[in-house]
Structure 1
């Protein structure tokens, strides 16, 4: 049986100079089984195997954050342990802005003057001298100017190579682009949750659009526990793949600038996610799935 690698998903140059496979890996699920890792910690050795297998399968874009931690697990520490010394082509992105206390509860967003400390904490945990890509993750703010301006200063200081924004609207992207170049936007997006205005604007401006929860079934608020659409299941049967693979394939089909960061704590699920990059939906199938927008 031929192993399908991330190369099947194609390549995009983040920021114009960091080529990454369009099927990447999200580290959020490595540390726990509940939202933001407040549940049962993942088996450490299994998480390390997942990371090493991802790289073996050609994944060279990993998304993480210092606030991805559980009582006994840190996503950044796992990445450092599993993959350091890092391959030259491995791109690691992180997010800053949200603050979690030692109990794992979210507090008020970081102030602009605190963002340097957030970047430095990621660098320390990952064992890096600079970050390839840092997202400013908004938590309901109307304007990102002050925070994004502070992050842009860290880029000028050499701590950050490229800048991104997360959990934003199209207006936020326009605001950010007036301050500094934006390499990527990371937002929730999938068959059941659309923001085509932001996705389209990213394509027009040469900005990567990086969906999260792209493989989740209906009922995201219940951790994707809802019933799958019959249409998704029909397409999956036609291709001999899983419904999750169909969802990832649909997302990747939204544009060459769209990058998936499918997350999992299972090697088997990882291999399925990566293989989604080889699924080619027909025009009729795409139209059918397009019509499922809620």
Structure 2
């Protein structure tokens, strides 16, 4: 009999209201260690709001989020990062006039492995050398070793997003939340990112992502959670989500387009 592992992340009946607007209503799902789970839905479905609740940027109006069994209610974002839950953002947040290498070094210093003042005064040469080694490892991991001395602002949009991933990985998370990671990437860049996500999981990091690129989501996900108007409407493996009439309707609406998509999905599953 296989062992049932406790969830690493539990979203427990979370709701978020902004005045009279319901952004999320009674959202509940778990993510287990080692999974790659995607949170999807049409624009305005509440996906990024959910991410903001999980990472301490928003307080829920009801319910709670637990990470490794610890309730996150009232914790600040940096405290949640220290627990092992890190994230990227929709918009790139690099320091454009600094090199790619220095961007990652800034992220490592912020993690607090060595005090910046000690580094500047030359009092922690061993610590600084270790940080530089780690920065090189992270850039190699995300595929940016060849761009390490280029200014971050000169990188293509997709490469800047990889810098953001390196910064998140610098915190040594147990779980990584990726907010629209392949937005603006072409097909080849997206495939590179799919391989990166898998390598992150192979190194023991659980992944939850929000993404609009459905082929990429279907390829990389173990499970998919679907939101519409802030409500959970479906959850399951990619094959089930692909042919779910409720999901098809949420994305395409009723009518011939939805029927054609449903038929195509059925033919794919029957092939």
Is the TM-score greater than 0.5? Answer: no
Q: Which has the higher contact order (CA 8 A, sep 6+)?
A: 2
- Please, what TM-score do these two structures have when normalized by structure 1? 0.37
Larger radius of gyration: 2
TM-score (normalised: structure 2): 0.39
